[in-house]
Amino acid sequence: MRVLHVDSNHPLLVEQLKSLGFQNDEDYTSSKEAVEAKIGQYEGMIIRSRFPVDKQFIDKAVKLKFIGRVGAGLENIDCEYAESKGIKLIAAPEGNRNAVGEHALGMILSLMNHFKRSGNEVSKGVWKREENRGVELDGKTVGIIGYGNMGKAFAKKLRGFDVEVLCYDILENVADENARQASLEELQQKADVVSLHTPQTPETQKMINAAFIKAFKKNFWFINTARGKSVVTADLVEALKSGKIIGAGLDVLEYEKASFEDMFTDNTLPEPFEYLIRAENVILTPHIAGWTIESNEKLARTIVDKIKVFFS
């Protein structure tokens, strides 16, 4: 069987598929239209997020048996239509969940201890200790919204801290030894830290808005390593200005392209984003929470293992 790779990944993905008897073709530069014109020759496709796999694309993929998405989410694929055509969808959230958990923890500790501001000051020869007195995570309540692979990985990282961990999810009975499942109302009453770990769906788009933020009893720190379009950035900025959100760690942004590859393509930046860039209590990273040396290999290995199971 022939597999078309349209995004580069760890080399073991091609190597191990080859050892399983697959013919691997790699095309990392052609347009969606060009790939669409030849996808009918292939039984498998490996993609990250380079372009959307929509109904038109799927209609051309007459031989396709599986799509391997080397990442956690499947939002760039018309899942319902693909499955109606008998195409197996394979994602790999297990591959980068540890990396995401570590990144989220690093962000909250950095925010609480003013790493960004104090580091910038020291680099300019300014030495302020009292003004940069930190806050400890111990004794706080951490609310995790979305308790799948990523949320569970973050909760596991919190086991070394004396914190109460609450998780909220649309599914029932997802709690484990690291978090107690709670209603959204309870989480909004108790949380000092909120970490978002939801997939991108119609229900989660613009979920973190002014009304959602206002419902929290306490001022809180906010971490987003999930999807940028779940947050209304203008509302987040207003909450930062008012102090309702004490600080924010954002690995993803509302303004990202669907491919996640670049967002600095225009000469003008949205006003809320300009505020985030300047804010001392905001940490921004370029969608790299799950983007470690180790996760690169784990993601590829997870896809291969799932393809083995599918064809066994």
Q: Is 256 a catalytic residue?
A: yes
Task: Read off the tokens for 90.
Answer: 């394979």
Active site residue 103: no
The H helix count followed by the E strand count for the chain is: 12, 12
Sheet holding 44-47, edge to edge: 23-26, 2-5, 44-47, 66-69, 88-91
Among 93, 61, 89, 66, which residue's Cα sits nearest to residue 77? 89
The DSSP secondary structure of 162-186, one letter per residue, reads --EEEEE-SSSS--BTTBEE--HHH
| Nearest one of 270, 239, 243, 278 to 254, comparing CA atoms | 270
- In whole angstroms, what is the distance from residue 56 CA to residue 70 CA? 22
Q: Are 249 and 110 in contact (CB under 8 A)?
A: yes
Residue type, 15: E
Task: Please tell me which residue in 10, 75, 227, 254 is annotated as part of the active site.
Answer: 227
Amino acid at the residue 278? R
SS3 string of 58-90?
A: HHHCCCCCEEEECCCCCCCECHHHHHHCCCEEE
Q: Which of 97, 114, 197, 287 is catalytic?
A: 287
Active site residue 287: yes
Active-site residue (options: 256, 261, 297, 301): 256
Catalytic residue numbers read 227, 256, 287
